[in-house]
Structure 1
């Protein structure tokens, strides 16, 4: 029989407190704020404003063509790069092991991390969306609604990847791997530029990657008003596989 101590925080309150901590840790970190917010905004402004970039926009304005991909990139920076690096160094410093033994527990800690990522993504979407709006972007209500589904699917896949990497590699290796992976996926993973615009075999590879699936899902939401079924299948499949791997291989110390 267990006894509830007066004044003890409920599980919901513990998760909420951890969520707030996780979100603040990212938004107060200058380097992570640069990667998660500033870089995507600068990339959007540059892609829309620099006419020297000769890109076939399929008859759309540059802002309508590039904004969905930039939003997908923003999701990747927060749910994968920032989360992997932060979790890896918390693991190295013993923070994860300590928190997992508190009343918060491992489940509460992971829930707080995921919810913290979603809070950061909300900030990213607002900042990027307002910037795009100022540049002439006018998304439909249907596109906005569907994009939230795409964001949730992408967040699940890339957070699972982040935890798998952070829980199996040394922190210094995670720092290098996460940044390099983001760079490669941004340019050759079908995120900003659709997979069918990539050269050679990359066209076929990108649609199988979570990056390409997320990019296509965001473009489908905003440009077509429908989520591509294949992109949903790919993101769900990657989430299941990576989540299973993270659950099996994650080391808390």
Structure 2
């Protein structure tokens, strides 16, 4: 145990002296998270809102005018457009339908008749972080018109429909993906770089003459990388809270996902250096493997939205199960799914780590 502790200690000292490693593990994930969060998950200025006025009445025009006066929306007339298809295609994030008979229904309700089904219909993509704002503002405008028309009576009903399968904002979806990507990149690249250079410089031949075993040395590297990852993830979580107000749930399952995820990709890194001896070639091979996995494993977009042939790649990617487990444990609270993904990652981590250690022959290098 003392040999493992000593190795971890000096590995951490070397890490904090390496400015490049500090940037790629601590700073770059934050930059990527903020960049993608603001580009795809946030929005500044007026929110684009399409509408279809099938009534064409004075009341419907007044309602559109009231929405415009809030200054929240950039209103777009969707007459003649297939807004439902545009929403499904992701070209727009929300639209509102003013049905035929809207004014007649409101006047009948004002006179004391039952409210008909000719109320406003709002369709929106709940995965967009602005959806809550859209619904809230529309309801406030409608409440104001209800007050003006009939005191506090509900003259104009509003029906809002979520037409997406996602129940989380893009930024909340993105955070576990960035964490998973960081675990993979740090573990694979760190293991490949250290192992390949130790082979090339003869460090392993010298280590073979010392009391430390291959298992102890690799265990020390797993612990070292886990400590670094915990630091990197802690910074990411603080930024997510300060900038986007996201407070993920940190629990035993998410912590174990990080530990076993580190083991999975450290083992993968050892396998790469077993078959690729040259330092530069090993690092290029690591990049060739990890770079595509970032995009097919649900780090940035849902696997369900990918073409069918990419879903097959996602099914065999360890990063997919790591990302899913982190989202389920940290964001959605689906602990049954989180535990299932943890079991898969743990099994893969044990297998890859044992195989990697077995194939790493110090004396033969």
TM-score by length of 1: 0.85
The root-mean-square deviation of aligned C-alpha atoms, in Å, is: 2.3
Residue 106 of structure 1 and its aligned partner are, at CA, apart by 2.3
Q: Does 1:23 align with 2:12?
A: yes
Q: Which residue of 2 aligns with 1:250?
A: 360
Q: Which residue of 1 aligns with 2:255?
A: 148
Q: Which residue of 2 aligns with 1:43?
A: 32
Indicate the SS of the match to 2:275: coil
Residue 25 of structure 1 and its aligned partner are, at CA, apart by 2.7
Aligned length: 240
Q: Does 1:123 align with 2:231?
A: yes
Structure 1 Cα separation of the partners of residues 300 and 10 of structure 2: 30
Residue 180 of structure 1 and its aligned partner are, at CA, apart by 2.3
Residue 240 of structure 1 and its aligned partner are, at CA, apart by 4.2
Structure 2 Cα separation of the partners of residues 207 and 24 of structure 1: 38
Q: Does 1:13 align with 2:39?
A: no
Q: Which residue of 2 aligns with 1:6?
A: none
Structure 2 Cα separation of the partners of residues 25 and 72 of structure 1: 24
- For residue 284 of structure 2, the aligned residue among 156, 168, 176 is 176
- For residue 313 of structure 2, the aligned residue among 178, 182, 205 is 205
Structure 1 Cα separation of the partners of residues 261 and 225 of structure 2: 12
Change (3 A) 1:193 1:25: farther
Structure 1 Cα separation of the partners of residues 354 and 252 of structure 2: 29
Q: Which residue of 2 aligns with 1:9?
A: none
Structure 1 Cα separation of the partners of residues 347 and 316 of structure 2: 10
Q: Does 1:186 align with 2:175?
A: no
Residue 230 of structure 1 and its aligned partner are, at CA, apart by 4.5
- For residue 271 of structure 2, the aligned residue among 147, 164, 173 is 164
Residue 229 of structure 1 and its aligned partner are, at CA, apart by 4.8
Residue 194 of structure 1 and its aligned partner are, at CA, apart by 3.0
Point out which structure has higher relative CO (alpha carbons under 8 A, 6+ apart). 1
Q: Deviations over 1:185-229 (max 9, x none)?
A: 112233333322322221232132111111111111112221435
Q: Considering only CA atoms, is the larger Rg found in Structure 1 or Structure 2?
A: 2
Structure 2 Cα separation of the partners of residues 197 and 237 of structure 1: 27
Q: Deviations over 1:97-140 (max 9, x none)?
A: 21232122323212211111111111111111111111211123
Indicate the SS of the match to 1:201: helix
Higher helix share: 1
- For residue 139 of structure 1, the aligned residue among 248, 261, 281 is 248
Structure 2 Cα separation of the partners of residues 241 and 106 of structure 1: 16
Residue 60 of structure 1 and its aligned partner are, at CA, apart by 2.2
Indicate the SS of the match to 1:166: helix
TM-score by length of 2: 0.60
Q: Does 1:105 align with 2:213?
A: yes
Residue 81 of structure 1 and its aligned partner are, at CA, apart by 1.5
CA contact (8 A) 1:190 1:198 kept: no
